[in-house]
Amino acid sequence: MYKRYKILFSATFLLAFNIHLFSQEGQDGKELAKQLIEVAELIMAETQAMDQARDNYILAVEADPDNIVANYRAGDFHMKTVGKDRAVKYFLKVLELDPEYRFDITYWIGRSYQYGMEFDKALAYYNRYKTKLTEKDGYRGRDRTELPDVERRIYECQNAIEYVANPAHYSIVNVGSAVNSEFDDFAPVVNEDETLMIFTTRRRDGNLNENVFSDNKPYEDIFFTEKKGGAWTPAQNIGEIINTEFHDSNLALSADGKQLFLYKDDNNGDIYESYRKDDGTWSYPQSMSENINSEGFKESSISISPDGSILFFASDRPGGQGGIDIYYSIKDENGEWTRSRNLGPIINTEFDDDGPFIDYDGKTLYFSSQGRKGMGGYDIFRSEYDSAESKWMEPENVGFPINTPDDDVYFVSTKDGKRGYYASVREDGQGFTDIYQVTILQEDEIGETLTAKGVEKEDTEPETPDTADPEKVEIDVTNDLQPVTLTVTVVDDKGSNTDAKISLTGKSNGRTAGKSSQGTGIYSFTATVPERTAYNLSVEKSGYLFQTLDITIPAATSLPQNITRKVTLRRLQVGARKVLRNIYFDFDKASFKDESYTELNKLEAMMAQSAGVQIEISGHTDNIGGKTYNKDLSQRRANAVKNYLVNKGIDARRITSIGYGEERPLASNDDERDGRELNRRVEFKVIGK
Going by C-alpha positions, the residue among 355, 455, 447 that lies closest to residue 400 is 455
Q: Which DSSP string do the residues of 147-179 spell out, in sequence order? A: HHHHHHHHHHHHHHHHHHHS--SEEEEE--TTT
Position 91 confidence tier, pLDDT thresholds 50, 70, 90: very high
- Phi and psi angles of residue 653, each rounded to the nearest 5 degrees, phi first: -75, -10
Asked whether residue 626 carries a pLDDT value surpassing 70, the answer given is yes
In angstroms, the CA 251 to CA 249 distance is 7
Position 502 confidence tier, pLDDT thresholds 50, 70, 90: very high
Going by C-alpha positions, the residue among 348, 345, 339 that lies closest to residue 316 is 348
CA-angle at 161, arms to 479 and 165, nearest 5°? 20
**Which long-range contacts link 199-208 to residues 24+ away (Cβ below 8 Å)?**
199/223, 199/224, 199/225, 199/235, 199/250, 199/423, 199/435, 200/248, 200/249, 200/250, 201/235, 205/181, 206/235, 206/236, 206/237, 207/237, 208/237, 208/240, 208/243, 208/244, 208/245
Strongest mean pLDDT among 226-240, 454-468, 570-584, 590-604: 226-240
pLDDT recorded at residue 452:
31
In this structure, of 307-321, 434-448, 548-562, 564-578, the range with the lowest mean pLDDT score is 434-448
- Please compute the mean of the pLDDT values over residues 565-588 and round it to a whole number: 87
Position 576 confidence tier, pLDDT thresholds 50, 70, 90: very high
Q: Where are the alpha helices (DSSP H) in 437-546?
A: none
**Helix 147-165 and helix 105-115: axis angle, to 10°?**
20
632 versus 20: which is more confidently predicted?
A: 632
In angstroms, the CA 125 to CA 205 distance is 43
Position 18 confidence tier, pLDDT thresholds 50, 70, 90: low
Asked whether residue 213 carries a pLDDT value surpassing 60, the answer given is yes
pLDDT recorded at residue 27:
53
Element (H, E) at 526: strand 522-527
Q: What is the pLDDT of residues 538-561, one digit of tens each?
A: 999 989 999 989 898 888 899 999
In angstroms, the CA 259 to CA 191 distance is 10
Contact 383, 392 (CB under 8 A): yes
Position 671 confidence tier, pLDDT thresholds 50, 70, 90: low
In this structure, of 126-140, 430-444, 527-541, the range with the lowest mean pLDDT score is 430-444
Asked whether residue 11 carries a pLDDT value surpassing 80, the answer given is no
Q: pTM for this one?
A: 0.85
- Please compute the mean of the pLDDT values over residues 590-603 and round it to a whole number: 84
Asked whether residue 16 carries a pLDDT value surpassing 70, the answer given is no
Domains of the chain as residue ranges with CATH? 2-165 (1.25.40.10), 170-440 (2.120.10.30), 480-568 (2.60.40.10), 577-688 (3.30.1330.60)
Asked whether residue 125 carries a pLDDT value surpassing 80, the answer given is yes
Cis geometry, peptide bond prior to residue 470 (ω within 30 degrees of 0)? no
Residue 543 exposure: Cα atoms within 13 Å on the Cβ side: 6
3-class SS of residue 561: strand
Position 443 confidence tier, pLDDT thresholds 50, 70, 90: very low
458 versus 574: which is more confidently predicted?
A: 574
pLDDT recorded at residue 479:
54
pLDDT recorded at residue 675:
58
- Please compute the mean of the pLDDT values over residues 429-443 and round it to a whole number: 82
Position 158 confidence tier, pLDDT thresholds 50, 70, 90: very high
Q: What is the pLDDT of residues 40-50, one digit of tens each?
A: 999 999 999 99
In angstroms, the CA 73 to CA 38 distance is 12
Asked whether residue 446 carries a pLDDT value surpassing 60, the answer given is no
In angstroms, the CA 63 to CA 28 distance is 8
CB atoms within 10 A of CB 117: 22
pLDDT recorded at residue 102:
97
pLDDT recorded at residue 585:
75
- Phi and psi angles of residue 543, each rounded to the nearest 5 degrees, phi first: 90, 0
Position 450 confidence tier, pLDDT thresholds 50, 70, 90: very low
Q: What is the 3-state secondary structure (H, E, C) of 421-437?
A: EEEECCCCCCCCCEEEE
In angstroms, the CA 25 to CA 509 distance is 52
- Please compute the mean of the pLDDT values over residues 395-423 and round it to a whole number: 93
- Please compute the mean of the pLDDT values over residues 328-356 and round it to a whole number: 96
Contact 364, 383 (CB under 8 A): yes
Task: Name the average pLDDT for the chain.
Answer: 87
In this structure, of 22-31, 39-48, 388-397, 680-689, the range with the lowest mean pLDDT score is 22-31
Position 597 confidence tier, pLDDT thresholds 50, 70, 90: confident
Contact 569, 541 (CB under 8 A): yes
DSSP 301: E
CA-angle at 69, arms to 63 and 71, nearest 5°? 60
Q: Which DSSP string do the residues of 347-374 spell out, in sequence order? A: T--SS-EEEEEE-TTSSEEEEEESSSS-
Maximum pairwise Cα distance, the chain: 82
- Please compute the mean of the pLDDT values over residues 178-187 and round it to a whole number: 94
650 versus 272: which is more confidently predicted?
A: 272
Residue 170 exposure: Cα atoms within 13 Å on the Cβ side: 22
Torsion of CA 91, 97, 101, 107, to 10 degrees: 30
Contact 415, 446 (CB under 8 A): no
pLDDT recorded at residue 404:
93
pLDDT recorded at residue 672:
61
- Please compute the mean of the pLDDT values over residues 663-684 and round it to a whole number: 74
3-class SS of residue 389: coil
Which residues are registered as beta bridge partners of 253?
260
Query: What spatial distance separates the first Cα and last Cα of the chain, rounded to whole Å?
Result: 38
